[in-house]
């Protein structure tokens, strides 16, 4: 079973639209960490944000915001007023810290390809 599910394979929007990328995770650990990465067309993987399981506060950074909800095991990412430069593949990832056999593993979703048209 997938530990991290990104159900949206591709999303296309027009510039200045808001867009939300969904991420649903699965874990039995009470301590875990969630991450978002961006992979622009150039191919490198860029870290965007980290969230721990004890902190459900939403976070805003410029046009980016993240909504973490433990009740629904979701960690969604919203881009407000999207721009062409936001076009990229976005990955959600999970790291468990419960000390079991999965300690140290970093699980990624399949990614969402976001295309922003001018």
Partner 1 sequence: DAGITQSPRHKVTETGTPVTLRCHQTENHRYMYWYRQDPGHGLRLIHYSYGVKDTDKGEVSDGYSVSRSKTEDFLLTLESATSSQTSVYFCASRGAYMNTEAFFGQGTRLTVV
Write out the residues near partner 1 by the rule CB under 8 A.
6, 9, 31-33, 35, 43-45, 47, 50, 52, 91, 93, 95-97, 103-111
Cβ closest to partner 1, residue 62 vs residue 104: 104
Cβ closest to partner 1, residue 12 vs residue 83: 12
Cα 76 from Cα 90, distance rounded (Å): 11
In whole angstroms, how close is the CB of 118 to partner 1 at the nearest point? 25
Tokens of 99: 């000390």
Cβ closest to partner 1, residue 80 vs residue 113: 113
> Buried (b) or exposed (e) across 19-55, using 16+ Cβ within 10 A?
bebbbbbebebeebebbbbbeeeeeeeeeebebebee
In whole angstroms, how close is the CB of 88 to partner 1 at the nearest point? 14
In whole angstroms, how close is the CB of 47 to partner 1 at the nearest point? 4
For residue 80, count CB atoms less than 10 angstroms from its CB and return exposed for 0-12, middle for 13-18, buried for 19 or more: middle
């Amino acid at each position: 079973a997938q530990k991290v599910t990104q159900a949206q394979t591709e999303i296309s929007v027009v510039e200045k639209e808001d867009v939300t990328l969904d991420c649903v995770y699965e874990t039995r650990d009470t301590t875990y960490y969630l991450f978002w990465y961006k992979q622009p067309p150039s191919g490198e993987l860029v870290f965007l944000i980290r969230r721990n399981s004890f902190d459900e506060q939403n976070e805003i950074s410029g046009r980016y915001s993240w909504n973490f909800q433990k009740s629904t095991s979701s960690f969604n990412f919203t881009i407000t007023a999207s721009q062409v430069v936001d076009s990229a593949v976005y990955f959600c990832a999970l790291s468990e810290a419960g000390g079991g056999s999965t300690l140290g593993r970093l699980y990624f979703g399949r990614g969402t390809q976001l295309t922003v048209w001018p």
